[in-house]
Structure 1
Amino acid sequence: MTRPPAGAQTLLRSLNARAILEALARRGPLTRAELMGETGLSRTAVTQVLRMLENAGAVASAGVDKVTRGPAAGRVALHPGLGCAVAVHIDHRSANAATLDPTGRVLAERRSSFDPSGDLTERVDTLTELLTAVLMPSAGPLRLAVVGVPGIVSRDGGIRDDQGPDGGAFRSALQARLGCEVRLENDVNLAAMAELSGTVATGLDSFALLSVDDGLGAGIVIDGTLQRGAGGIAGEVMYLPQPSLPVGAPVLNEVVVADLAATNGRDPNLPLRSHLDAALEGEASAIEMTAELARRVVLVAGSITLVIDPAAYILAGDAAHPVFSEAIRQAADEVEHLLPLTFLVSSFGREATLTGAVGEATAGLREMLLTGILTGSDRTR
């Protein structure tokens, strides 16, 4: 019987294989020379590891490099059938889903209406139908789904709402239907994670992302790490006490927008974005309404600053609307002598949550595939 390689040799080969797989996942198809440059490995090491990975069904030929000067060189890539992941953003009106491969390339994307007030079966049915529409058989089996949802997500994957946590029922039901691992995350937290890879947060060691959708939420990053809190409550700033508001009253949500619209003689049934667009066109009532909402956002930012003192606030969702973001900056200028605050606009706008979900799904899929390939487990093809 053939004896296995020595431990040190097995470890070295595993490390070399991981380096090559990570390079292919990060960069896409590469020649052997490019892999040598990416990993620092010798040509012999690269050739040996690629042979092992090809035998394991982990990599495949990806054509010939016809761009680089000199003799044509064959490219290799991760095997296209290794598997894919889906990233999903659910809000109170719709769900947006994207399928991606291990390199993070989005293969398909689709949006559909979504009714979160429906029962568990209806929600899972709707989402399963959407995901089925974006899955591509050529991408291999579905390995992972990362789903961004509004509200508090507990450590066990439960969703907390006005009726309390669901005990992970939604995640468990969706996981059973899809046949893959499902990870839930708060939508604003995902938006904050997206900013870590964007241009706006470059050079910031800490920031708080403030997103306005159906309500106001924050994603808090300190020393480059997202802060979720012990129970997932970190960033639930919509109920921070403010002067003139009863304790426990929301600072900004759909009800607040409707009440302010009625107070200013506007249609309370219109969504916030319609009022912001009207303010952009110069309607005085919409401008006054926006100013009050901006004042509330600045008071929330001031409260956060007195606790964690982030370097800046990044505005996302409807808060990134040009009229709203400018009104927020103007409200901040009025208190600058007391508490200087810096506001920036998100790199990704209303797509921040889905972008964050794509990033998390890509990282999770890569690690899942790398572990499966290197251990020879059934988690790969």
Structure 2
Amino acid sequence: MSRPLAGPQGLLRTLNGRAILEALARSGPQTRSELMSATGLSRTAVTQVLRMLENAGAVAPAGVDRDTRGPAAGRVALHPRLGFAAAVHVDHHAAHVVLVDATGIVRAEAHSPFPDAENRVAHIVGLVDECRRSLKAAKGAVHIAVVGVPGIVTADGGIRDDLGPDGGAFRAALAAALDCPVRIENDVNLAALAELTGGGGGSLTSFALLLLDDGLGAGIVIDGALHRGFSGVAGEVMYLPQTPIPIGAPLVGDAVVSDLALGVGRDPAASLGDHLEAAALGDDGALQIISEVARRIVLVAGSVGLVLDPEAFVLGGKAAHPVLVAAIERIAGEYEAQLPLRFLVSSFGPEAPLIGAVDQAAAALRGDLFTRILTPAPKSAR
């Protein structure tokens, strides 16, 4: 005769506590009956765990449910003073900071360009403090930060950009200034995670997000998981060889757009966005620029497709502009007999990296809170 499963009561309380905390983080305030339905726990178990969580300061009363029939039932929610996570998107020009709670709700945000010669760490910390002041939050209210940056991000949080590898110096300095753990992610990878968890990518087994901003990067999802590569280089597609472009030369970017503009008699100081708007109005020179940029993006997709064969390519950033999407689809059609390529438009536009950072920051905050709340303090030696 088999023995029933059993385990120490402390472990069961921890597992039950995590189930209730996750239900409250996922769905907001709930009654005991709703928590029973969400977790499969008995009323007695839910009541005991809620008492433990209330004593730990993890949950608090959140009004009553007057919508259902019968006596009004009290709701509970995650305690509002559990703190926040910081989600940060840094590009070459500015920083955007969002404070998010454990339920994923944005509580405050601040955005401003980097002043000339301004220290990036000090600027980000200033924006975090601005968000804290708007919430009247305590100095230690931010428990973790997720920061999306352009460039290659190594497994230890180091950044490799135009200035070379920093050995994790940026992450370490920011963690010290914020007095909390900091996780660094490539911004395009965060955009791909946003697409995977909340966009059209969620219905795909595999896809490559092609994000066009100051340059072109790819976020690669294989079998439902983000692929970063051994050293963080996966997705650095802007330097894939293309004839007749010299090896090592960027395929797109401000300098490339400027050169293309000179070749068709348009203002070399104009941005890609300017050319896109002009192309939408039928400007012939702008249309030639957009056609060339589209051709290069299609060839990048073809190269990635031959190696990884994703279900689709998701176009993000400036690549999601209707004029550029139309040009990409037209040029891809010319190669369809040799290599069919499917293109979709991102669900989130230019905010995708920040949305990905918000999602990851909220998840990291929940994990941190659950560990701190449910891990019993070590007993002091007598």
Alpha-carbon offset, residue 138 of structure 1: 4.5
Q: Where does the alignment leave 5 or more consecutive residues of structure 1 unmatched? A: 1-5
How far, CA to CA, are the matches of 2:232 and 2:377 in structure 1?
Answer: 32
After superposition, the C-alpha distances for 1:305-355 in whole angstroms (9 at most, x for unaligned) are 111110100000110111111111111011111100000000101110001
- Residue equivalent to 1:32: 32
* RMSD over aligned Cα atoms: 1.6
Q: Where does the alignment leave 5 or more consecutive residues of structure 2 unmatched? A: 1-5
- The answer as to whether partners of 2:199 and 2:348 remain within 8 angstroms in 1 is no
- The answer as to whether partners of 1:80 and 1:138 remain within 8 angstroms in 2 is no
User: Aligned residues: percent identity?
Assistant: 62
Residue identity opposite 2:162 in structure 1: D
- The answer as to whether partners of 1:211 and 1:315 remain within 8 angstroms in 2 is yes
How far, CA to CA, are the matches of 2:300 and 2:66 in structure 1?
Answer: 56
Residue identity opposite 1:131 in structure 2: V
Correspondences of 1:318-357 after superposition (within 5 Å): 318-357=318-357
Alpha-carbon offset, residue 110 of structure 1: 1.9
After superposition, the C-alpha distances for 1:254-278 in whole angstroms (9 at most, x for unaligned) are 1101111111211111221111111
- The answer as to whether partners of 2:90 and 2:150 remain within 8 angstroms in 1 is yes
Alpha-carbon offset, residue 118 of structure 1: 3.5
Correspondences of 1:363-378 after superposition (within 5 Å): 363-376=363-376
Distance 1:362 1:377, change over 3 A: farther
How far, CA to CA, are the matches of 1:257 and 1:376 in structure 2?
Answer: 58
How far, CA to CA, are the matches of 1:69 and 1:277 in structure 2?
Answer: 56
Structure 1 residue 137 and structure 2 residue 136: aligned? yes
Relative to structure 2, which stretch is displaced further, 99-108 or 6-15? 6-15
Residue identity opposite 1:130 in structure 2: L
Relative to structure 2, which stretch is displaced further, 137-146 or 206-215? 137-146
Alpha-carbon offset, residue 82 of structure 1: 1.0
How far, CA to CA, are the matches of 2:158 and 2:216 in structure 1?
Answer: 21
Relative to structure 2, which stretch is displaced further, 256-265 or 287-296? 256-265
How far, CA to CA, are the matches of 1:374 and 1:169 in structure 2?
Answer: 33
Alpha-carbon offset, residue 8 of structure 1: 1.7
Structure 1 residue 309 and structure 2 residue 306: aligned? no
- Residue equivalent to 1:270: 270
How far, CA to CA, are the matches of 2:262 and 2:357 in structure 1?
Answer: 36
How far, CA to CA, are the matches of 1:307 and 1:377 in structure 2?
Answer: 50
Relative to structure 2, which stretch is displaced further, 137-146 or 68-77? 137-146
Alpha-carbon offset, residue 376 of structure 1: 3.7
TM-score normalized with structure 1 length = 0.94
How far, CA to CA, are the matches of 1:138 and 1:70 in structure 2?
Answer: 39
- Residue equivalent to 1:171: 171
Alpha-carbon offset, residue 79 of structure 1: 0.9
Relative to structure 2, which stretch is displaced further, 123-132 or 106-115? 106-115
- The answer as to whether partners of 2:206 and 2:310 remain within 8 angstroms in 1 is yes
- The answer as to whether partners of 1:194 and 1:355 remain within 8 angstroms in 2 is yes
TM-score normalized with structure 2 length = 0.94
How far, CA to CA, are the matches of 2:68 and 2:318 in structure 1?
Answer: 46
Moved over 3 A (4+): 137-140
- Residue equivalent to 1:3: none
Alpha-carbon offset, residue 199 of structure 1: 3.6
- Residue equivalent to 2:108: 108
Correspondences of 1:75-86 after superposition (within 5 Å): 75-86=75-86
After superposition, the C-alpha distances for 1:70-105 in whole angstroms (9 at most, x for unaligned) are 221111011111110011111111211111100000
- The answer as to whether partners of 2:187 and 2:353 remain within 8 angstroms in 1 is yes
Residue identity opposite 1:76 in structure 2: V
- Residue equivalent to 2:187: 187
